[in-house]
A = this chain, B = another copy of it.
Amino acid sequence: TINGERLWNSLMELARIGATPKGGVKRLALTDLDKQGRDLVVSWGKAAGLSITVDKIGNVFMRREGTNPALPPIVSGSHIDTQPTGGKFDGNYGVLSALEVVRTLNDQGIRTEAPIEVAFWTNEEGSRFVPVMMGSGVFCGAFSLEHAYAAKDTEGKTVREELERIGYIGDQTPGDHPIGAYFEAHIEQGPVLEDADKVIGVVPAVLGLSWYDCVVTGMEAHAGPTPMHLRRDALQVATRIMQEVVAIGLRYPPYGRGTVGMVQVHPNSRNVIPGEVKFSVDLRNVSGELLDRMHGEILAFVERTGRETGLGVTIERVSYFPPCPFHPDCVDAVRRATERLGYSTMDVVSGAGHDAIYAARLAPAGMIFVPCKDGISHNEIEDAQPDHLTAGCNVLLHAMLERAKR
């Protein structure tokens, strides 16, 4: 078993870089703080005897050789960039638990047949640069290096410039790096494990995800002198669609999700009937077929609402990730490790996207979830229990050892 205290201490030390007053972390991708975080993790890798490779999008692989040079590495990792008001565990836990696996193998003098690698991927969060999960996305060919390089932050700085500036633009062509299997340990980012009082979530799949921008265009007018029957109130029409988004989520239990997270009302003045409302729609489900049906329902509803109300209503899909079932070999490796170690467990489908869904396009992949307090993440108050983090890392150790053959 791994050294839980060492894992915890490393998490706390990394969390000092970009620490916020409320106990969170702000370490946006490719900033000076990201560089400091990367340097610290790389220094730890070197101290553990690992050799470092950086690819052209700044993904870092830290390698412990195996006994059989013909085998591809068993890789585990995640990301160390955070949300603007992020926590200490999201991503960082996945990277540092992989490092803790290596440290444990070193301590116990265990050799594996396949090499073991600790990876961290560039800009998973997507807060500073879109698209999200950028490093793993380029790595698996979901979009091109040039596309990623050209992404700009709000100040107009590009990914390429910033990678160069912090010294993390490597030589290796992304993807030109074999992977035998990929594991990622992560806080659940949801309430399911805590609600069921379980320690380990075995993750069979990640929900597919469709993101949309919806715009309702009415006619801005003064709230007093404009009689109800002469109004073209964009917000009233928008609220109907917002309710339908949730209704669609509810029609597809247990994995359907329908969320409106972002709303912009124009001109947003107390006594002006809104002339335009823009809002986001986030639909998720576990199979492509179910997600397609949800997609069809929201499009039909929007079209009907435009027709019935006479207002302008448009909806445009802006992102799509297909549902991602993980490879049975990896899922079962996690399940067996959990059972062997005797932790309480349940299957938890991941509702959130992770670097693992891109890694899964290239190699068998699997994830391990541990509970996070109140299901909260992407928040400075994000929290997790040391014994849960230790348990997840133990499961990771055993699953990797099974795949890497000790």
Contacts and interface: CB of A to CB of B under 8 A. Distances in A.
Interface of A: 188-192, 195, 207, 209, 211, 220-230, 233, 235-236, 239-240, 242-243, 246, 249-250, 253-254, 256-263, 265, 268-274, 280, 282, 284, 350-353, 375-379
A254 to B, nearest CB: 7
B270 A261 contact: yes
Contacts of A224: 189-190, 207, 209, 257, 282, 284, 350-353
A195 B236 contact: no
A319 B124 CA distance: 47
A218 to B, nearest CB: 12
Contacts of A284: 223-224
Q: Name the residue among A221, A240, A273 with the largest chain B CB count within 10 angstroms.
A: A221
Taken together, the copies of this chain in the complex come to 2
Contact of A257 (B223, B240, B243, B376): B223
B207 A282 contact: no
Contacts of A243: 236, 239-240
12 contacts: A191-B221, A191-B227, A222-B375, A223-B257, A226-B351, A227-B257, A235-B261, A236-B243, A239-B243, A261-B265, A261-B269, A262-B269
Given A256-B228, A284-B224, A376-B221, A265 B262 contact: yes
A43 to B, nearest CB: 32
A379 B220 contact: yes
A351 B191 contact: no
A351 B195 contact: no
B222 A190 contact: yes
A350 to B, nearest CB: 7
A261 B253 contact: no
A253 B231 CA distance: 14
A254 B254 CA distance: 46
Instruction: Give the residue among A188, A211, A239 with the most B Cβ atoms within 10 A.
Output: A239
Given A228-B253, A242-B235, A222 B351 contact: yes
A225 B375 contact: yes
A186 B221 CA distance: 17
- Residue in A250, A261, A282 whose Cβ sees the most chain B Cβ within 10 Å: A261
Contact of A223 (B240, B261, B274, B376): B261
A265 B263 contact: yes
A299 B281 CA distance: 30
- Lowest 8 A-B CB distances belong to which pairs? A190-B225, A224-B351, A225-B351, A223-B259, A224-B352, A239-B239, A270-B280, A189-B225
B259 A263 contact: no
A376 B221 CA distance: 6
Contacts of A246: 228, 233, 236
Contacts of A274: 260-261
Given A246-B233, A270-B211, A273-B259, A192 B350 contact: no
